A and B are shown apart, each in its own frame.
Chain A
């Protein structure tokens, strides 16, 4: 029975060990384990994001010789966005590379993030879920090693409602307005419905929630309902093919694209462009504008791309939404290392020390200009209890060819969301038997 497979084990072990031990010492480096995905259905996002991330790390190495002399190093492991592959990669890479300790993991996948959440906490390795992930992990007292940086799903809808309020001339003008939310029929799509209901009650707008079953390539009935309702705004909480189909169907049923607001997974070039002319005027949120005009991107272009070391196979994608998210993610990771080095000394740091760095990141206007990311990255301040930090988005409009940023940073009502997040994190702590940290005692 189990005999033969276990007999094969020593052989497999030998192969594995041979592979692991073929290494040379490289102390004095800080390592980033990259659970990247370059094949499979999400490759467009993965290659862009990890391309931007790697290029930024190369840029820091080339420009400054690493962080305070500590070179940054990385290696990739393909996850294909598949949870168990991500777990395998996590386990393979978490120990560091040739003696260089791992700083943080950045799987950019909700499923992998969930599956490695407990492991990260046990291994004391920060888990970065930029713009996505578990909303209640914002509460760093219960989730000490998880960082939904910039924007969690609750802040996302709150910011959208605030923007609609701005457009209507004040939040008090929302009363009596009609807002339809078209959401993807998945846990992701439903996640923010309770928050929308709460906001509807608070501001007195009329909310209609319409579900689009996965994958959403047929939305005639939903948009006919929308036509009957005649809403002032439609919030599109889509994913993949659902987005262009929604825009096309909206055009067919005569709903204006400039009153549709796409969320964080409906905001890339790939969501708008396939809809062709129907997408013109479509508005969506973004945590970081696309474009190459920022000093940090110009720096990357000069030192990395023009030197022929760029990570992107297709240089045309330089500066697109996914790439810039990778750059933003790189800036935040490197800043955490930098902040932590100020406390623990300029040497390779453990995950626990980098965690301290993340919790003390402070990006104000001055610091943003120093790293050349003013306008690209939002002002951000993290702490022991706040692992999100920002909660602001900008709005962009599709002009038929590309996104144009049309607003300044619009802040979510984070004070309103905090109690809901804490209720949820407390329940999680109770379920898992976690004693929350006392953040007033953390330095």
Chain B
């Protein structure tokens, strides 16, 4: 009823090519953006900004990076955290060693360095695929972490190997407050999401999906398979690199190689599996699931169950619930939360009629 598309006709090709063809979708998007920039800063407090919203945004962005590679181009990877680490450490070193370099240029530089490493790691994809490719990206995961620990130059010879973020100043404006860091993260993430959404609807995105569905067939119809794969690695790693820089700079404020270990790669992979492969929205849903749910469980159990159970068992109980929820969701909807959303949207379109 509210979500009707009847009466909305494209009268020009331009309209037909828009990212969101339904008026309601566009209005929803603008309202969301408006809320993200006005209502959320107005309602939120320091806790929400620095403990929930920033990691949610950064992990969504990381999920987006991996989703382009795995969900759209079909190339499995377990090197996400390595690319994030490359992004974080490159940004740190650029800002440190080139005084006066704007922070955002440093972040972009981090992304580019990660893209470069990504292409290198993606080279084996010319010959191998599936789980074998997964293992070769695992090598990147271990190598990057080893290199960052081994050569103390990367961490500016800091004795402990942990480096702290420089002041967050963009265009003379200080973004160090929790709200500032949230706005900065949001403003860096949004253009990348917009770019990704365009990419997957464009020529390259269609190449990727063709390669994902059957690379032999894609090659036969003249798609440059290897180039498409390498571009997927490059663009995915770029986004992961930027996410890594944001993770280090706007979220934690410190960078250490250990923070980008294999568990982080798994976390990003779980985000896209739970959120939905081959979906942009899915990254946000998956990240929300991974970030918000454990926190909500922990807050709830701290306020309602504390004292009833020993705290160690309480923690394990939360893990059990979280794990059970993942299993339930994946059985109910193996295609991820994004698919649930799509079904819901399809229902709402015809509501209150049945079809």
CA A111 to CA B162, docked complex, whole Å? 8
B281 partner, pick from A1, A76, A111, beta carbons under 8 A: A1
Among B31, B55, B149, chain A packs the most CB atoms within 10 A around the CB of B149
Q: List residues of A (45-59) whose CB comes within 8 Å of B's CBs.
A: 47
Query: Which of A1, A8, A77, A80 is the one whose CB lies under 8 Å from B29?
Result: A1
For the complex with contacts A6-B36, A313-B310, 17 further pairs of A-B residues with Cβ separation under 8 Å are A1-B197, A3-B281, A5-B287, A13-B43, A15-B299, A47-B312, A77-B298, A78-B311, A83-B259, A84-B252, A88-B51, A110-B162, A111-B162, A114-B164, A118-B253, A134-B160, A428-B164
**B296–A12 touching, CB < 8 Å:** yes
Flag whether A19 is at the interface (Cβ < 8 A). yes
Q: Within 8 Å CB of A194, what residues of B?
A: 159
List of 3 A-B pairs having minimum Cβ-Cβ separation, nearest first: A187-B161, A38-B312, A91-B51
Tell whether B46 is near chain A: CB-to-CB under 8 Å: yes
Is residue A307 within 8 Å, beta carbon to beta carbon, of the partner chain?
no
- Min Cβ gap B298→A in Å is 7
Chain B interface extent, by class = 35 or more
Can you identify 22 A-B contacts, CB atoms within 8 angstroms?
A: A2-B60, A5-B285, A15-B300, A19-B300, A19-B302, A20-B303, A23-B303, A77-B302, A83-B256, A84-B55, A88-B51, A92-B299, A111-B256, A111-B258, A115-B252, A115-B253, A115-B254, A117-B164, A118-B164, A119-B253, A134-B160, A187-B155
Contact B40 A9 (CB under 8 A): yes
* Contact (Cβ within 8 A) B159 A135: yes
The one of B43, B60, B315 that contacts A38, using a Cβ cutoff of 8 Å = B315
Cα distance A136–B140 when bound, in Å?
33
Q: How far is the CA of A134 from the CA of B254 in the complex (A)?
A: 13
- Residues from chain A with Cβ under 8 Å of B304 in the complex: 19, 22
**B257 — nearest CB in chain A belongs to which residue?**
A187
| Interface residues in B48-62 (C-beta closer than 8 Å to A) | 48, 50-52, 55-56, 60
Pair B303/A39 contact, Cβ less than 8 Å: no
- Tell me, in angstroms, the Cα distance from A49 to B105 when the chains sit together: 44
> Which residues of chain A are near B55, meaning CB under 8 Å?
84, 88
Could you give, for residues 15-47 of chain B, a 1 whenever the CB lies within 8 Å of some chain A CB and a 0 otherwise?
Answer: 000000000000011011101100010010011
List the interface of chain A (C-beta within 8 A of B).
Answer: 1-9, 12-13, 15-16, 19-20, 22-23, 36, 38-39, 43, 47, 75-78, 80, 83-84, 87-88, 91-92, 95, 110-111, 114-115, 117-119, 134-135, 185-188, 190-191, 194, 313, 424, 428, 431-433
Could you list which residues of chain B lie within 8 angstroms of chain A, going by C-beta atoms?
28-29, 31-33, 35-36, 40, 43, 46-48, 50-52, 55-56, 60, 149-150, 152, 155, 158-162, 164, 166-167, 193, 197, 251-254, 256-259, 280-281, 284-285, 287-288, 292, 295-296, 298-300, 302-304, 306, 310-312, 315-316, 318-319, 341
Question: Which of A3, A78, A87, A135 has a CB less than 8 Å from the CB of B32?
Answer: A3
CB of A78 within 8 A of CB of B162, answer no
For B158, the closest partner residue in chain A by CB is: A187
A186 contacts B149, C-beta separation under 8 Å? yes
| Chain A min CB distance to B241 (Å) | 19
Complex Cα–Cα for A111 and B261 (A)? 13
Given the complex, which residues of B lie within 8 Å of A111, measured CB to CB?
162, 254, 256, 258-259
Which of B149, B292, B316 is A39 in contact with, Cβ under 8 Å? B316
CA distance A16 to B46 in the complex (A): 14
* Residue numbers in B under 8 Å from A19 (CB-CB): 299-300, 302-304
Tell me which residues across on chain A come within 8 A of B166, comparing CB atoms: 431-432
Question: Contact at A114–B256, with CB atoms within 8 Å?
Answer: yes
With CB as the reference atom, state the residue of chain A lying closest to B52: A88
How far, in Å, is B294 (CB) from chain A's closest CB? 8
Q: Which residues of B contact A431 (CB under 8 A)?
A: 164, 166
Q: Is the CB of B284 within 8 A of A2?
A: yes
The answer, among B35, B152, B285, B303, for a CB contact under 8 Å with A4, is: B285
When chains A and B are docked, how far (Å) is the Cα of A43 from the Cα of B295? 20
User: How far, in whole Å, are A87 and B167 apart by their CA atoms in the complex?
Assistant: 19
Q: Give which listed residue, A4, A83, A428, contacts B252 with CB less than 8 A.
A: A83
**Cα–Cα, bound, A428→B162 (Å):** 12
In-complex Cβ contact of B312 among A7, A16, A313, A433 (8 A): A313
A contact patch SS = helix
Residues of B within 8 A of A3 (CB): 28-29, 31-32, 281
B312–A87 contact, CB under 8 A?
no
Closest chain B CB from A26 CB (angstroms)? 14
Do B251 and A84 have beta carbons less than 8 Å apart? yes
- Are A16 and B296 in touch, CB under 8 angstroms? yes
Question: How far, in whole Å, are A296 and B52 apart by their CA atoms in the complex?
Answer: 41
- Which of A38, A75, A433 is the one whose CB lies under 8 Å from B167? A433
Contact of B296 among A15, A80, A134 (CB under 8 A): A15
B138 to chain A, nearest CB (A): 16
Task: Say whether A2 contacts B258, CB under 8 Å.
Answer: no
CA distance A214 to B183 in the complex (A): 39
A23-B306 Cα distance, complex, nearest whole Å? 13
| Docked pose: A118 CA to B162 CA in angstroms | 13
Contact assessment for A424 and B284 in the assembled complex, using a CB-CB cutoff below 8 Å: no
- When C-beta atoms are compared, the residue in chain B nearest to A5 turns out to be B284
Q: How far is the CB of B58 from chain A (nearest CB, A)?
A: 10
Chain A residues contacting B158 (CB-CB under 8 Å) are 187
For A187, the closest partner residue in chain B by CB is B161
Q: Which of A13, A39, A188, A433 contacts B160 (CB 8 A)?
A: A188
Question: What is the bound-complex CA distance between A117 and B162, given in angstroms?
Answer: 12
Given the contacts A39-B312, A78-B311, A191 and B159 also touching, CB distance less than 8 Å? yes
Residues of B within 8 A of A191 (CB): 159-161
**CB-defined contacts of B193 to chain A, threshold 8 Å:** 1-2
Residues of A within 8 A of B303 (CB): 19-20, 22-23
Closest CB of chain B to A111's CB: distance in Å?
Answer: 6
Chain B residues with CB under 8 A of A119: 50, 253
User: Taking A1-B29, A36-B311, A84-B252 as contacts, is the C-beta distance between A8 and B164 under 8 angstroms?
Assistant: no
A190:B161 contact, CB within 8 angstroms: yes
Q: In the assembled complex, how far is the CB of residue A184 from the closest CB belonging to chain B, in whole angstroms?
A: 11
Give every chain A residue within 8 A of B40 (Cβ-Cβ): 6, 9
Contact in complex: B162, A424 (CB < 8 Å):
no
By a CB distance below 8 angstroms, the chain A residues around B300 are: 15, 19
B299 near A16 with CB under 8 A, answer yes
Chain A residues near B150: list those with CB within 8 A: 185
* Contact status A76-B311, CB under 8 Å: yes
Q: Assess the A8–B254 pair: CB atoms within 8 A.
A: no
Residues on A with C-beta less than 8 A from B162 are 110-111, 114, 187
- CA of A13 to CA of B42 in the docked complex: distance in angstroms? 13
